[in-house]
Amino acid sequence: MKSDGLANFLLGLGVGIGLGVLFAPRSGEETRGYIKERADEGADYLKRQTEDLRADLKAKADDIADKSRDVLNRQRDNLSEAINAGKQAYREKIDSMSEKPV
């Protein structure tokens, strides 16, 4: 049964190739040129798409890096302000303790 399926497939393949050769609208050389032209167009299309995608990804990565830098700078400023506030509170506490009589 399997050999019948394979035989039928090969028969269909042969008939398809034969009909394709008989009814081809172009000569073999023209067909090869057409296929090469289409393949080159496809390669160019893929190259353009890849370049566009690369540019989009680079822009997004740059945007994320800029936002990350901004967040880090804000956090650094907040931490610096907190440290300065802590130092100021410490100085005030020391000053107030030195002013009180013991």
Give the CA distances from residue 95 to residues 12, 49, 83, 91, 99, in Å, rounded to whole numbers and listed in that order: 101, 68, 18, 6, 6
Q: What is the pLDDT of residue 98?
A: 82
Q: What is the pLDDT of residue 100?
A: 65
Please state the domain extents for the chain. Answer: 2-99
pTM for the complete prediction? 0.48
Residue range 26-75, pLDDT digits in tens = 777 887 888 789 889 989 999 999 999 999 999 999 999 999 999 999 99
Q: What is the pLDDT of residue 68?
A: 97
